[in-house]
Amino acid sequence: MKLLDGKLCAESLVADISRQVAVHVAAGLRKPHMTVILVGNHAPSESYVKSKITTCSLSGFDSSLVRFPETVYEQELLAKIEEINLDPSTDGVIVQLPLPAHIDQQKVINSISPDKDIDGFHPTNFGRMALGQKAFRPATAYGICKLLQFYQVPVVGKHCVVIGRSNIVGKPISIMLSNDFDIGNATVTLTHIETPRELLLDETRRADIVIVAVGIPGFVTPDMVKEGVTLIDVGINRLESGKIVGDVAFDAVAPKCAWITPVPGGVGRMTVAALMINTLIAYQNNFNLV
């Protein structure tokens, strides 16, 4: 069993981004600039935003954090996004999710300019991604692809099973691994909450790669996978003890795996690294550098 170390991979990607930024700045251009919008004081969101801001600095980026109270009106939030859309000094914008119940999350996502949508959630980018066109790819799914690529895990022609069909992870990773991107051309089965248990087991037991994102601690157990499987655990679950665990029963399943992501230290770090890649691309697009 070998670990797919997201921390190591992310550090390598960020170091490469920093080198590219240094070249652009030496040529007289400003630094790339990411703006993050945070609504309320949801503890996990605070942690995620802190990580993004810190990684911006390591990447050589400027960053701005715009805070709103939990009670912010939807129109006020949308007006701020429009202001950022029109601001040429910001290359990419993120609205940290989840949002309070009184705000229409999809409306907020749709209000972000596709040219600054570094999360890759806007329908324009998602549609282009699905068609194999140039687009900002959803960051977590893109991060998983970069992790597999970094460790040279075989993907082409492999059988991949995705557990969970969220717009953030399950749907985009199933599309990206089946499409002909830098990494892909796998045969992908997308399963979800309505997939009968027997069918799920049939699929996971013959899968070469299993990607799970369901938010249930220890959901994947040793009887669900074959020897030599590659297991990507996207889950981040906090137990009552305070311990952070994934969707995989790690200690029990790891001995059967050729490769497995740890939690923490796996996919989470890759999501942030992918946001940096998308921000650099947005910046380069703004200056016609690519």
In tens digits, what is the pLDDT along the chain, a chain of 290 residues?
899 999 999 999 999 999 999 999 999 999 999 999 999 998 889 999 999 999 999 999 999 999 999 999 999 999 999 999 999 999 999 999 999 999 999 999 999 999 999 999 999 999 999 999 999 999 999 999 999 999 999 999 999 999 999 999 999 999 999 997 778 899 999 999 999 999 999 999 999 999 999 999 999 999 999 999 999 999 999 888 889 999 999 999 999 999 999 999 999 999 999 999 999 999 999 999 87
C-alpha 119/C-alpha 7 separation (Å) is 20
Residue 273 · residue 10 · CB < 8 Å: yes
Domain count, the chain: 2
Residue 126 placed within a domain:
no
Same domain, 154 and 262: yes
* Radius of gyration of the chain, Cα coordinates, nearest whole angstrom: 19
> What pLDDT is stored for residue 242 in this prediction?
86
148 and 110 in a common domain: no
Which SS3 state, helix, strand or coil, does residue 212 take? strand
Report pLDDT for 274.
Answer: 98
Q: Residues 104, 156: one domain?
A: no
Global pTM? 0.95
Distances (CA, A) of 131 to 8, 221, 226: 31, 34, 32
Q: What is the pLDDT of residue 223?
A: 97
- Domain boundary pick from 99, 114, 129: 114
Alpha helices by DSSP H, listed for the chain, are: 6-26, 43-59, 74-85, 105-111, 123-130, 139-150, 170-178, 197-204, 250-253, 267-286
* 119 annotated active-site: yes
Report yes or no on 155 lying in a domain.
yes
pLDDT at 181: 72
Closest CA to 135 of 172, 190, 105, 109: 172
Q: Which listed residue (52, 80, 116, 146) is catalytic?
A: 52
Shared-domain flag, residues 152 and 253: yes
What is the rounded CA–CA span in Å between residue 31 and residue 13? 17
In single-letter form, the type of residue at position 287 comes to F
| CA gap 52, 143 in Å, rounded | 14
Q: For residue 143, give its domain range.
A: 139-268
Give which of 208, 214, 212 is closest to 186, Cα–Cα.
208
- Position 14 scores a pLDDT of 98
Q: Which of 80, 91, 116, 119 is catalytic?
A: 119
**CA 146 to the chain's CA centroid:** 10
- Give the domain-ending residue among 47, 80, 114: 114
Q: Are 89 and 49 in a shared domain?
A: yes
Tell me whether residue 23 is in a domain: no
Instruction: Say if 99 falls within a structural domain.
Output: yes
| pLDDT at residue 285 in the model | 96
Question: Which residue do the tokens 């945070």 mark?
Answer: 38
pLDDT at 66: 98
Active site residue 62: no
| DSSP result, 192-226 | -TTS-HHHHHHHHTT-SEEEE-S--TT-B-GGGS-
Give me the catalytic one of 80, 91, 96, 208: 96
Q: What are phi and psi of 212, to 5 degrees?
A: -120, 130
The CATH number assigned to the domain holding 234 equals 3.40.50.720
Q: What is the model's pLDDT at position 64? A: 97
By three-state DSSP, how is residue 35 classified?
strand
Is the separation of the CB atoms in 241 and 21 below 8 Å? no
